[in-house]
Amino acid sequence: MVKVRFAPSPTGFLHLGSARTALFNWLHARHTGGQFLLRIEDTDKVRSDKKFLDEILEDLKWLGMDWDEEPIYQSQRFDTYREKAEEVLSKEKAYREGDAIIFKVEKGRNIEFEDIIHGNITTNTDTIKDQVMIKSDGSPTYNFSCVLDDISLEITHVLRGDDHISNTPKQILFYEALGYTPPKFGHMPLILGPDGAKLSKRHGGVSVEEYKREGFLPEALANYLILLGWFPGEDQEILSLEEAVKLFDINDMSDVQAKFDIQKLRWLNGEYIMKEKNEDLLPLLKKQLSATKIDTSKFADEYLTKLIDLYKIRMKTLSEFAGLTECFFQDDFKMDEEGKKKYLDKEENVENIRIFANRLEGLEDFSHEKIEKICRDIAEERSLKAAEIIHPTRLAISGKTKGAGLFEMMELLGKEKVLERMRGIQT
């Protein structure tokens, strides 16, 4: 049975690269009916923090992953690591240096392994120094504890980032010394920023938590991360985790460097937002609105839901919603100055708005169809294009040159607000 693991160090938030590593391990386990395990690599007691661990676990769940057993914690296994190190020591394959235990690396050998993603990788042991197993403070090194735990968890495949390629021959030496066959290894190319350098803070957000806050949907982010390591096929760019589980084959993973393309992620997110049910978007958008200090408590869910209907095709992230819909919650919305010059600083446009407002005054049924009819009638009577009334009116009621369909916006805002705003316009 396939057994894979994800082994985060809780010394920071979940990096996008680590989330991708977790996803591919999870996909491999679920595709093969195997097991996906979590191991918390918290050997660095100073830098490890419960706050990071909680967020990492939450983010993994948020992205749609589940794991098969309770996570194991390396901080609880120091005795085992020491015992095993002493075993190696007793076989004279290691020596003590003060309180540290150090593994002797035999020189002049080639260590070879067949990487699932990169193919054959050979390293000569002349390039490998003797390896610390237990440090003088009693804590194990990453390479040693990793191997011991992968052995005891019976891990069959180790999928991790390229930054660990140089660790793998060292780990293979430990497998040999302990008398075990190493698992299969696959190293995923690092995620690069648009400039070709390793994805880092200066490229924008690097942690899952930042994307969550920005209003990316988990399905979209997971989908995007999967595309950064595997090509499911020409017409298969948008795929759910469920579909990915069916289609995924570890042997198809790509060894090309993955460039992080925020525009593509935004596009995907927009696609997912469009497909999402309004009722599922509602609580998420309320949160976004309250983060920008818009008080939604005075507005009924029905009103918000209609607003979501109007704007869900117009946002790429949920955090854009507040800016797009400001005028639906408050009267002191921002006015687009360019647009104002273009549309509202003109006598004839103000006159058209005045006429339009007067006709709307008598309208009983303030529906978008009826509003539109009046607008088009006025345009015809005055030999104007409807757009010549629509654009200035949109600006008057929303402060924006773009938005949802004007008549739908007016219907939702309601007659009173609309007339008040239209009449507030003077040159």
Q: Return residues touching ligand GLU (CB under 6 A).
A: 7-9, 41, 146, 160, 164
d(C-alpha 417, C-alpha 371), whole Å:
14
Query: Smallest distance from the beta carbon of 369 to ligand GLU, in angstroms?
Result: 58
Query: Smallest distance from the beta carbon of 417 to ligand GLU, in angstroms?
Result: 53
The residues with which 393 forms a beta bridge, in sequence order, are none
Region of 326 (left: φ > 0; alpha: ψ -120 to 50; beta: rest) is: alpha
Q: Decide whether 41 or 219 has the Cβ nearer to ligand GLU.
A: 41
Best CA proximity match to 72, nearest among 101, 40, 43: 40
Upper half-sphere CA count for residue 352 (Cβ side, 13 Å): 29
Q: Decide whether 8 or 182 has the Cβ nearer to ligand GLU.
A: 8
CB–CB of 289/296 below 8 Å?
A: yes
> Tokens in use for 302?
């029905």
d(C-alpha 94, C-alpha 102), whole Å:
5
Query: Smallest distance from the beta carbon of 163 to ligand GLU, in angstroms?
Result: 7
SS3 69: coil
Q: Decide whether 186 or 392 has the Cβ nearer to ligand GLU.
A: 186
Query: Smallest distance from the beta carbon of 159 to ligand GLU, in angstroms?
Result: 8
Q: Decide whether 41 or 372 has the Cβ nearer to ligand GLU.
A: 41
Best CA proximity match to 142, nearest among 120, 170, 116: 170
d(C-alpha 61, C-alpha 72), whole Å:
17
Q: Decide whether 150 or 320 has the Cβ nearer to ligand GLU.
A: 150
Query: Smallest distance from the beta carbon of 372 to ligand GLU, in angstroms?
Result: 58
DSSP structure class, residue 117: T
Query: Smallest distance from the beta carbon of 41 to ligand GLU, in angstroms?
Result: 4
Q: Decide whether 253 or 406 has the Cβ nearer to ligand GLU.
A: 253
CA 34 to chain centre: 25
